């Protein structure tokens, strides 16, 4: 084990030889000092403290640098800062909880203020706004905590753990022990401030690229015809995907869906003309990629067509931004000895589910024999063979009964501004199952703001501050796409309030990982029509939602495998050019498509799985979505037997950031798995097929 190895190094080091350099002698003296400190501390505090002493000294020694002090400074620190008295140790933990809540919360507030004009729809951005959003006020905090020796106090007195230990032993730990583990986890890496700033800068540059990646689809011409309304602007990928979903309920939806799928392919392959991105004055054909100035009469009021259009394609900007995030993340590798790649950190430190297990869960979904059966149901409903974009089929959801225009009217009338959603939050939360009192309490702790991008939820870092819900609101109000995303983000915000304000240790604030918070947000999002008063759940709706949930998870599971494959490729080819990364991404996306999707949808070699903008800006985020669907299915299965969604949501969300499996056992009684998702879909298919059989065998009506 890691700790034993550190102790062995401390105790077994040989004395310095005459051939050693001054640096060698200093390092050897520090090793010997560690052994001397162990002996002194055990003599002072008793042999019963030996295990804690040896572990704590080893943890400090592993992170100590020459700049932290010489051997004398190390010994003085170890002997003065070790705490053995149980009451004093509890007080020490409390001090860290208070201090880190104040620090973390302050940095969240500062960064939120700095990025305000870049992420909120408050008018045109200035060039300086990009720089402000890239600045991370907390970039130096880990350095500062080590330099001030506060991090070393935590490492000396509380245990560092491996993922294997947390998975194997965590269920037997007390809540206080979990708080201790979460305290030291944040010091398992000592990443320099310059590297953290590099990561923040790369993230901000990628986010700005993604937030400005709009397509004016009124100017997408198919055989010279305009298929979309004047002024319609769709953000890639979110709005493009959601338009495909919406067009299942549109009379002329099929040609629109095919056009958007071709637009997506051009974006992924970077064969889209750079001139058409976020420009309302250019007409272009996604099949031929020809682009020309649009007639003035077709352009939204206030915009002007260009005098000429440069036909050059976008110069692999998408992949340059992705490489930027990779190289920034990779720069932290040398400072994370227990998880020496970004891939390892995402799965072992952040998700706390091993990569191999995540991959196996995704493949259980992708290879399920239920998927082709659902595909047959979709074909029957559509009355045609499936096409690649049908991975986003949305016809099982209740909203498929409503046209896009009808839903847009309902949401725009109700929410003309972000402020109107803020005022309506108590009503929204009551419809989602919270009591009047709890809905008001939550609403007073969530701030709604207009987003420049598609929308997101920003957590608070301290009690007294509040989560922020950023949602996109058009000039004529919030359309249904924006509302659907806003309800999803509201799920995040409600979880963020409970998991900060109601958790017993603020060191446990939050939930285990992003997949869990996504799952809780999916619970809200699935009830968006109920909030609008347009649908109520019944047995038939539940069956259809079970089919929808498996189909959605099937779609995003492949996307996640692409994200994972691309990061593995980048680590194998760290000097790759954007063009090389583009070709590798296309190859990986097509290979995964051909293995898991072509047998079901009947078309080979499409790159659509690589369209997700998260791949560009979110640092290996996408596996959280299918994991979130699996967790959401388990939560929904549990909620079906619960009396109150609101009370159960609160109970789950306030349990805190333990491992995902332990959290799930508390929430639903079982660890993370595929059984709930696949079981619900199988029961739904049996019900659907039984209905069909009963109709076929019924006597003819007179």
pLDDT digits (tens, 9 = 90+) for 172-230: 999 999 999 999 999 988 888 889 889 999 999 999 999 889 999 999 999 999 999 99
| Residue with more model confidence, 302 or 378 | 378
DSSP H helical segments within 15-85, as ranges? Answer: 22-45, 50-63, 71-81
φ, ψ for residue 606 (rounded to 5)?
-90, 145
Residues 130-156: tens digit of each pLDDT:
899 988 999 889 889 999 999 999 999
Rounded CA separation 456/458 (Å): 7
Under a CB-based contact definition with an 8 Å cutoff, are residues 519 and 635 in contact?
yes
Cis, peptide link before residue 237, omega less than 30° from 0: yes
Q: Which residue has the tokens 């189909």?
A: 551
The pLDDT, as a whole number, for residue 30 is 64
Rounded CA separation 398/225 (Å): 31
Tokens of 594: 């051909």
The alpha carbons of the chain give a radius of gyration, in whole angstroms, of 27
The percentage of the chain sitting over the pLDDT mark of 90, rounded to a whole number, equals 78
The whole-number average pLDDT for the span 635-644 is: 87
Tokens of 421: 């959603």
Tokens of 315: 């110069």
The whole-number average pLDDT for the span 305-316 is: 88
How many other CB atoms sit within 10 Å of the CB of residue 118? 22
Under a CB-based contact definition with an 8 Å cutoff, are residues 609 and 592 in contact?
yes
Under a CB-based contact definition with an 8 Å cutoff, are residues 214 and 181 in contact?
no
Under a CB-based contact definition with an 8 Å cutoff, are residues 365 and 553 in contact?
yes
pLDDT tier for residue 21 given thresholds of 50, 70 and 90:
low
Nearest to 650, CA basis, from 439, 471, 470? 439
Beta bridge partners of 470: 449, 456
Helix %, strand %, coil % for the chain, to 5?
Answer: 65, 5, 30
pLDDT tier for residue 301 given thresholds of 50, 70 and 90:
low
Under a CB-based contact definition with an 8 Å cutoff, are residues 78 and 153 in contact?
no
Tokens of 673: 């798995």
Q: Which residue has the tokens 């298919």?
A: 685
Rounded CA separation 378/385 (Å): 9
Indicate if the pLDDT at residue 158 is higher than 80.
yes
Residues 440-483: tens digit of each pLDDT:
999 999 999 999 887 889 999 999 999 999 999 999 999 998 99
Q: Is 511 exposed, middle or buried (0-12, 13-18, 19+ CB in 10 A)?
A: buried
Tokens of 491: 């799920």
The whole-number average pLDDT for the span 626-632 is: 94
Indicate if the pLDDT at residue 26 is higher than 60.
no
List the Cα angle 592/596/597 in 5-degree steps. 95
Rounded CA separation 41/46 (Å): 8
Rounded CA separation 564/586 (Å): 14
Tokens of 468: 């922020």
The whole-number average pLDDT for the span 315-328 is: 97
The whole-number average pLDDT for the span 592-608 is: 97
The pLDDT, as a whole number, for residue 7 is 34
The whole-number average pLDDT for the span 86-100 is: 97
Rounded CA separation 292/534 (Å): 42
φ, ψ for residue 141 (rounded to 5)?
-65, -40
Rounded CA separation 111/78 (Å): 35
Task: Give me the numbers of helices (H) and strands (E) for the chain, helices first please.
Answer: 32, 9
Residues 473-513: tens digit of each pLDDT:
999 999 998 999 999 999 999 999 999 999 999 999 999 99
Under a CB-based contact definition with an 8 Å cutoff, are residues 295 and 591 in contact?
no
Helix 404-414 / helix 480-501 crossing angle, nearest 10 deg: 50
| 525-531: Cβ within 8 A, 24+ apart | 525/484, 525/487, 525/488, 525/491, 526/632, 526/636, 527/431, 527/432, 527/487, 528/399, 528/483, 528/484, 528/487, 529/398, 529/399, 529/402, 530/431, 530/432, 531/428, 531/431, 531/432, 531/487
CATH top-level class of 401-532:
alpha beta
Q: What's the predicted TM-score (pTM) here?
A: 0.83
Listed by start position, the domains of the chain span: 2-189, 209-319, 341-396+536-685, 401-532
Helix 355-366 / helix 624-639 crossing angle, nearest 10 deg: 70
The whole-number average pLDDT for the span 353-358 is: 96
DSSP H helical segments within 291-341, as ranges? Answer: 317-330
Rounded CA separation 362/556 (Å): 9
Q: Which DSSP symbol is given to 226?
A: E
Cα atoms in the Cβ-side hemisphere of radius 13 Å centred on 213: 30
């Amino acid at each position: 084990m890691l700790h034993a190895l550190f102790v062995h190094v401390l105790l077994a080091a040989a004395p310095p030889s005459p051939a050693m350099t001054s640096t060698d002698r200093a390092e050897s003296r520090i090793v010997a000092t560690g052994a001397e400190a162990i002996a002194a501390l055990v003599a002072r505090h008793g042999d019963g403290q030996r295990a804690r002493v040896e572990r704590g000294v080893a943890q400090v020694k592993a992170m100590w640098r020459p700049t932290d002090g010489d051997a004398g400074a190390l010994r003085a620190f170890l002997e003065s800062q070790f705490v053995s008295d149980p009451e004093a140790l509890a007080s020490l933990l409390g001090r860290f909880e208070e201090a880190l809540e104040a620090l973390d919360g302050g940095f969240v507030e500062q960064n939120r203020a700095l990025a305000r004009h870049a992420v909120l729809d408050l008018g045109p951005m200035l060039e300086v706004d990009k720089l402000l959003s890239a600045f991370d006020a907390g970039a130096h905090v880990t350095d500062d905590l080590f330099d001030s020796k506060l991090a070393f106090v935590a490492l000396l007195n509380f245990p560092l753990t491996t993922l294997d230990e947390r998975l194997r032993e965590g269920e037997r730990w007390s809540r206080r022990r979990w708080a201790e583990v979460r305290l030291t986890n944040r010091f398992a890496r000592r990443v320099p401030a310059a590297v953290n700033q590099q990561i923040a800068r790369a993230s901000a540059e990628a986010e700005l690229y993604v937030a400005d990646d709009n397509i004016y689809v009124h100017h997408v011409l198919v055989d010279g015809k305009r298929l979309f309304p004047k002024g319609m602007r769709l953000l890639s990928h979110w709005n493009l995907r959601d338009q495909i979903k919406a067009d299942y309920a549109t009379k002329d939806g099929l040609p629109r869906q095919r056009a958007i799928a071709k637009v997506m392919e051009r974006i992924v392959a970077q064969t889209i003309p750079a001139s058409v991105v976020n420009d309302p004055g250019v007409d272009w054909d996604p099949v031929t990629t020809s682009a020309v100035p649009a007639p003035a009469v077709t352009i939204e009021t206030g915009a002007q067509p260009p005098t000429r259009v440069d036909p050059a394609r976008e110069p692999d900007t998408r992949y340059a931004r992705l490489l930027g995030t990779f190289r920034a993340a990779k720069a932290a590798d040398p400072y994370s000895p227990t998880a020496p790649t970004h891939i390892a950190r995402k799965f072992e430190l952040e998700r706390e589910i091993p990569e191999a297990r995540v991959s196996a869960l995704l493949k259980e979904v992708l290879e399920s024999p239920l998927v082709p059966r659902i595909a047959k149901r979709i074909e029957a409903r559509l009355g045609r063979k499936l096409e690649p974009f049908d991975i986003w089929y949305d016809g099982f959801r209740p909203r498929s009964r409503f046209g896009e225009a009808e839903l847009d009217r309902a949401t725009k009338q109700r929410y003309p501004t972000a402020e109107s959603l803020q005022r309506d939050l108590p009503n929204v939360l009551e419809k989602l199952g919270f009591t009047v009192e709890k809905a008001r309490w939550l609403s007073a702790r969530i701030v709604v703001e207009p987003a420049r991008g598609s929308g997101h939820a920003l957590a608070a870092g301290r009690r007294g501050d509040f989560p922020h819900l950023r949602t996109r609101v058009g000039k004529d109000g919030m359309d249904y796409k924006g509302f659907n995303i806003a309800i999803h983000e509201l799920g995040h915000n409600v979880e963020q309030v409970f998991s900060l304000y109601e958790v017993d240790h603020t060191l446990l604030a939050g939930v285990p990982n992003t997949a869990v918070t996504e799952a809780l947000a999916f619970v809200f999002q699935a009830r968006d029509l109920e909030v609008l008063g347009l649908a109520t759940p019944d047995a038939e709706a539940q069956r259809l939602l079970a089919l929808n949930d498996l189909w959605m998870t099937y779609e995003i599971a492949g996307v996640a495998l692409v994200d994972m494959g691309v990061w593995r490729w980048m680590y194998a080819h760290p000097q790759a050019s954007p063009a090389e990364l583009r070709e590798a991404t296309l190859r990986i996306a097509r290979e995964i498509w051909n293995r898991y999707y072509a047998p079901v949808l009947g078309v080979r070699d499409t790159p659509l799985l690589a369209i997700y903008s998260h791949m560009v800006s979110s640092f290996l985020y996408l596996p959280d979505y299918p994991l979130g669907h699996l967790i959401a299915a388990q939560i929904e299965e549990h909620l079906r037997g619960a009396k109150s969604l609101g009370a159960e949501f609160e109970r789950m969300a306030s349990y805190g950031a333990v491992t995902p499996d332990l959290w799930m056992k508390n929430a639903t009684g079982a660890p993370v798995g595929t059984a709930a998702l696949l079981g619900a879909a199988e029961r739904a298919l049996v019900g659907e097929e039984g209905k069909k059989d009963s109709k076929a065998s019924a006597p003819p009506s007179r």
